[in-house]
Amino acid sequence: MYYYSTRNKNEKACFATAALTGLAPDGGLFVPEEIPQYPAQVRSSLGTMDFCDIAFETIKPYVRDEIPDTVLADIVRSAFTFTAPLIPVANRYTLELFHGPTAAFKDFGARFMARSFSYLRRGEDRPLRILVATSGDTGGAVADGFFEVQGISVTVLYPKGRVTPLQERQISGLGKNISALAVEGSFDDCQRMVKAALADDGLKKKMALSSANSINISRLIPQAVYYSSSAGRAFAGRIDPDGEATPRVKGHSVVSAGKSDLPVTLCVPSGNFGNLTAGLYAMKMGAPVKRFIAATNINKTVPDFLESGEYLARRSQATISNAMDVGAPSNYERMAAHFSWEEMRRIILGVSVSDEETRETIARVHKDSGYFIDPHSAVGWKGVDKLHAENKLEDGAVGILCTAHPAKFSEVVRPITGDPPVPPSLALAMKRTVNSKTIPAEVPALIETLYTYN
């Protein structure tokens, strides 16, 4: 399998090069030369297969000839030690993606990336520095995934004052091979600075660099796994009776647990659009997904594009769903490389949700179902409500990706519903001390800082 740049199809690389460099030399994003198909036997068994077996079958064609099957199987088993329950809440499914060590969906990609990097760099003497821009959850997941991995250090850039206290501790509280930079700007500034540093010739001569945002193909591909797993289970009518966002859901579900034989519509709370792009890969591989809903907060660059056909990046605006505060989503470039505007409109519905609507949804879902949701998942929930009200959704099962545990955003959730349950991993993270350096939102400031780390 080869990968080419979104800006030049002649700029090709193998998986190892695409993963370890992160960004193509011309500044584009690497995409696979083809999206492979699941074998018929795998496609028909997605509803009953073990999660790690689905992960192996999903990732294998993307890394063939570079990661042996036995090694890949070990990586998958080591990375995915937690599950993604598909449970009924009210009249829809929720896919709980927050059972990893940092309680966010980013754990799936970050843990696979850390283990695959360790294998791909075996025997390499030159240390690798990974740069990652985060609007909240990515930084903590990457920091945790790469913590104490030999020969690899991580620098996380995050917008100062725009992440929660818990997120900041997850990003900057580990120390050792993890460093944190608080940028006096937005996530878009952080992302711009990382891309510029990765392309800086002088810096590349001094150190080996890579990225860990969803601009890196090795973080995006493993995220396709939970789409295939959940869509397969929904198609087969196999759901989990309970998730872990206690207290348990009140009453009985109106989502049928019987075999549906119908593809599911999946709503994806979206910011940088890496998660949705991974879902598109799963769909193209053969997962039984009918269509996607791209639910954003007021940073609605992609929903506006789907409506008008004109892509207009803009400055991001701060919201209570801060991990989605992205005005120039990087993965739009990947989506556009694979699909025309007309194709995207057929398989993706766009919708945006305000902070007021988000708060109202958190309150209503908890009142009606006893279920806690975080602000990002609430954007997805309300997005489905709005599309139903506009008669834009056909009959059939709908699932919402719950991308983070509500306790990660207790500052928002607590005044609305009371305290959500706190997983042990988050309780431990809150005890950490913030240790970060503040820099201006300027590329030279980042490059100068990186030189001091070398």
Q: Where are the domains of the chain?
A: 83-104+219-425
Predicted local distance difference test score (pLDDT) of residue 23: 86
pLDDT digits (tens, 9 = 90+) for 364-380: 999 999 999 999 999 99
Best-predicted range by mean pLDDT (12-21, 163-172, 289-298): 289-298
Predicted local distance difference test score (pLDDT) of residue 261: 73
| 88 in Cβ contact with 408 (< 8 Å) | no
Burial of 378-411, coded b for 16+ CB within 10 Å and e otherwise, reads: bbbbbbbbbbeeeeebeeebbbbbbbbbbbbbbe
Predicted local distance difference test score (pLDDT) of residue 253: 39
Burial of 439-451, coded b for 16+ CB within 10 Å and e otherwise, reads: bebebebbbebbe
> If pLDDT is split at 50, 70 and 90, which confidence band does 342 have?
very high
For the chain, give percent helix, strand, coil, nearest 5: 45, 20, 40
Give the H/E segment covering residue 183: strand 178-184
Backbone CA torsion sign across 160, 327, 443, 138: positive
Stretch 189-207: mean pLDDT, rounded? 92
Distance CA 385, CA 381 (A): 7
Res 42 pLDDT > 60: yes
> If pLDDT is split at 50, 70 and 90, which confidence band does 256 have?
very low
Place of tokens 């910011």: 271
Q: Identify the CATH number of the domain defined by range 83-104+219-425.
A: 3.40.50.1100
Give the helix ranges, DSSP H, for 48-135: 51-63, 69-79, 106-120
Predicted local distance difference test score (pLDDT) of residue 453: 80
Res 280 pLDDT > 80: yes
Predicted local distance difference test score (pLDDT) of residue 257: 41
Range of weakest confidence among 2-11, 30-39, 169-178, 241-250:
241-250
Q: How many residues does the chain have?
A: 454
> If pLDDT is split at 50, 70 and 90, which confidence band does 311 have?
very high
Predicted local distance difference test score (pLDDT) of residue 260: 62
Of all residues in the chain, the percent with pLDDT exceeding 90 is 78
Q: What angle do CA 130, 135, 139 make, to 5 degrees?
A: 35
| 227 in Cβ contact with 166 (< 8 Å) | no
Pairing of strands 398-402, 348-352: unpaired
Pairing of strands 178-184, 152-159: parallel
Predicted local distance difference test score (pLDDT) of residue 259: 53
Distance CA 150, CA 125 (A): 11
Predicted local distance difference test score (pLDDT) of residue 241: 60
What is the average pLDDT score of the chain? Answer: 91
Distance CA 143, CA 337 (A): 30
Predicted local distance difference test score (pLDDT) of residue 92: 93
Stretch 137-165: mean pLDDT, rounded? 91
Distance CA 384, CA 386 (A): 5
Predicted local distance difference test score (pLDDT) of residue 211: 85
| 300 in Cβ contact with 173 (< 8 Å) | no
Predicted local distance difference test score (pLDDT) of residue 215: 83
Best-predicted range by mean pLDDT (29-43, 135-149, 192-206, 256-270): 29-43
Give the helix ranges, DSSP H, for 104-172: 106-120, 137-146, 165-172
> If pLDDT is split at 50, 70 and 90, which confidence band does 188 have?
confident
Distance CA 11, CA 25 (A): 8
Range of weakest confidence among 143-152, 292-301, 342-351, 365-374:
143-152
Distance CA 382, CA 357 (A): 7
pLDDT digits (tens, 9 = 90+) for 377-396: 999 999 999 999 999 998 78
Amino acid at 304: D
> If pLDDT is split at 50, 70 and 90, which confidence band does 252 have?
very low
Give the H/E segment covering residue 197: helix 187-198
Distance CA 245, CA 195 (A): 36
Cα-only R_g, the chain: 20
Res 47 pLDDT > 70: yes
Predicted local distance difference test score (pLDDT) of residue 255: 43
Burial class (CB in 10 A: 0-12, 13-18, 19+), 27: middle
Measured in whole angstroms, the distance separating CA 399 from the mean position of its chain's CA atoms is 16
Predicted local distance difference test score (pLDDT) of residue 262: 84
Place of tokens 């997850």: 170
Stretch 312-341: mean pLDDT, rounded? 93
Res 65 pLDDT > 60: yes
Stretch 328-334: mean pLDDT, rounded? 93
* DSSP code, position 249: P
